[in-house]
Amino acid sequence: MKKKVVLLGATGSIGSSTLRVLRAHSERLQLVGVAAQSNDRELAAICHEFAVPHAVLNDDASYRRARQGSGFPGTTQLSSGTQALEALAALPEADIVLIAVVGVAGLRPALAAIEAGKDIALANKELLVLGGAHVVKAAQRKGVRLLPTDSEHNAIFQCLEGHPHGQVDKLILTASGGQFRDSPVDQLATVTPEMATQHPNWSMGPKITVDSATMANKGLELIEAHWLFNLEPERLEVVIHPQSIVHSFVQFIDGSILAQLSPPSMTFAIQHSLLYPERATPVEATVDFTNPFSLDFKAPDYARYPCLQLAYDALRAGGSAPAVFNAANEVAVARFLAKELAYLEIPEVIRHCLSTTHNDPSPSLEQLLEIDAETRAQAQALKF
Ligand code: NAD
Ligand code: MG
């Protein structure tokens, strides 16, 4: 029996790595639904190649363009909008939904998939940062699996297997340190969007590449780890590991540490989460021990990475603070990429939004979405 997969965010960086895994394992995995924001040509090409029966283009203008020129196969049912995205996430024939859209747009589709009893492979971290309490509760209630596709969380998930929660001392997330890890701190003021969107190890979408440079990404991942693995901030640590080969560690109460290693490509984590609990041949070369190489580790310097400190602060504060952190960061990064803000103003936007927003200790999902929208407006209007 093939596992039937819905892929939300099919034209992005995670999306294209997922297609490589699907091509290599077509005898085990079948693509039954795809979604993208606006890239109609690429989505149509995917529907042709994989004979996908259901597709959603979220953007209405792109959808209308696709309907007119229709490069889509006649056998693909194409729809548009957020409700269509939620319906796709709950597609009756699907077994697993890989959520690889960017930002909080992934939240409602994730909840729709959970309500429909689908397992989730989760690449999108922002939805857990915003709505972690609600998503985890819903998944537990419905008895569905939240399988981490983010490489660090996938590594931790693999290391934790078979070990009771009470034996875990801490989780240690590895971080590449981004492209400015060795630049003098006083040169960070001159970083441009062109510089910040080039990553030394990983090929990823622009937003997460900037987040990697500021380590806001690791901050979001700490919050993601808190929700996925039910551990308090004191038991979540970050270590800089420039080679991105160890994807994270689990330290147990007896001092033993387990790690997961694979080359810096998302195909390993994607394949693991889609095929789980099965394993199969990888689509890329594995770690090669025939040529010498080193693995380095060092503690992060918070003066270089103020966004990481702000993420810890938000995680410790709890309530609505992580949602504020996420929304402020997303807008600040977009404004930096649009050349409206300087690189060092990204943490300043987050700091300002966190310190001026009342922290609601247990917000409802609707309240969180309101706080998200308000924070975005605030971060957008902020002038320096
Ligand atoms: P990306 O920008 O390359 O791709 C995003 C995809 O989502 C595109 O297909 C886009 O069309 C689609 N999309 C965006 N908004 C949408 C909407 N509202 N409705 C439907 N489709 C929409 O991003 P990415 O780098 O692939 O990252 C995707 C997610 O995975 C992010 O949450 C990111 O944090 C996470 N992630 C990425 C990587 C990586 O290596 N790229 C690693 C770990 C986690
Ligand atoms: Mg990651």
Ligand 1: nearest atom to the Cα of 151 = 43
What is the mean pLDDT of the segment spanning 215-240? Answer: 98
d(CA 196, CA 169): 35
Q: How much is the pLDDT for 129?
A: 97
Distance 151 CA to ligand 2 centre (A): 5
In the prediction, which pLDDT does 204 show? 83
Report the SS3 class of residue 143. coil
Q: What pLDDT, in 10s, does the model give residues 74-122?
A: 999 999 999 999 999 999 999 999 999 988 899 999 999 999 999 999 9
Which ligand 1 atom sits closest to the C-alpha of 101? Answer: 7
**Residue linked to tokens 């630049």:** 183
The closest of 116, 267, 242, 253 to 181, measured between CA atoms, is 242
- Ion ligand 2: residues, CB within 5 A, are 150-152
For residues 223-231, average pLDDT: 98
Helix orientation angle between 107-115 and 82-89, rounded to the nearest 10 degrees = 40
Measured from the Cβ of residue 297, the count of other Cβ atoms closer than 10 Å reads 13
Which is the closest atom of ligand 1 to the Cα of 57? 20
- Per-residue pLDDT averaged across 225-234, rounded? 98
Q: How far is the CA of 383 from the centre of ligand 2 (A)?
A: 31
What is the distance in A from the centroid of ligand 1 to the CA of 372?
19
Cα separation, 359 vs 375, whole angstroms: 12
Residues with CB under 6 A from ligand 1: 9-15, 35-37, 39, 58, 85, 100-102, 105, 123-126, 150, 202, 204-205, 208, 266
Name the phi and psi angles at 31, rounded to 5.
-85, 120
Interacting residues of 165 by C-beta distance below 8 A, sequence separation 6+:
230
Count Cβ neighbours within 10 Å for each residue of 187-216 and write b for 16 or more, e otherwise: ebeebeeeebbebebbebbebbbbbbbbbb
For the stretch 25-71, pLDDT in tens is: 999 999 999 999 999 999 999 999 999 999 999 999 999 999 988 79
Pocket test for ligand 1, best of 97, 102, 107 (most atoms within 8 A of CB): 102
3-state secondary structure of 294: coil
**Kind of pairing between the strands at 54-57 and 29-36:** parallel
Within 205-356, strands assigned E span: 236-240, 246-252, 257-261
Of the residues 208, 218, 221, 247, which should be mutated to test ligand 1's pocket, given the most ligand atoms within 8 Å of the CB?
208
Residues 317/292, Cβ–Cβ less than 8 Å = no
Strand 96-99 relative to strand 3-8, pairing: parallel
CA 105 to ligand 1 centroid distance, Å: 10
The residue behind tokens 């394992």 is: 25
Residue whose CA is at the smallest distance from ligand 1 atom 22 = 37
Distance between start and end Cα atoms, the chain = 58
Determine what percent of the chain is predicted with pLDDT higher than 70.
100
CA of 7 to the centre of ligand 1 (A): 11
Q: 187 pLDDT band (50/70/90 cuts)?
A: very high
As to burial, measured by CB atoms within 10 angstroms (0-12 exposed, 13-18 middle, 19+ buried), residue 269 is: buried
Q: Which pLDDT does position 205 carry in this prediction?
A: 84
Tens digits of residue pLDDT in 279-331 = 999 999 999 999 999 999 999 999 999 999 999 999 999 999 999 999 999 99
For residue 334, the model assigns a pLDDT of 96
CA atoms of 95 and 5, how far apart (whole Å): 6
Q: What is the 106 CA–ligand 1 centroid distance (Å)?
A: 9
pLDDT at 293: 96
Ligand whose nearest atom lies closest to the CA of 215: 2
Looking at the CA of residue 211, tell me the nearest atom of ligand 1. 34
Distance of CA 373 to the CA centre of its chain: 20
The atom of ligand 1 lying closest to the CA of 208 is 34
Q: How confident is the model at residue 131 (pLDDT cuts 50, 70, 90)?
A: very high
State whether the Cα torsion 323-324-326-330 is positive or negative.
positive
Going along the chain from its start, the domains and CATH numbers come out as 3-148 (3.40.50.720), 153-263+291-381 (1.10.1740.10)
Q: Of the bound ligands, which one is closest to the alpha carbon of residue 221?
A: 2
Give the pLDDT of residue 112: 98
**Residue 246 pLDDT grade (very low, low, confident, very high; cuts 50, 70, 90):** very high
Does position 340 have pLDDT exceeding 90, yes or no? yes
Q: Has residue 134 got a pLDDT over 90? A: yes
Q: Find out whether the peptide bond into 277 is cis, omega within 30 degrees of 0.
A: yes
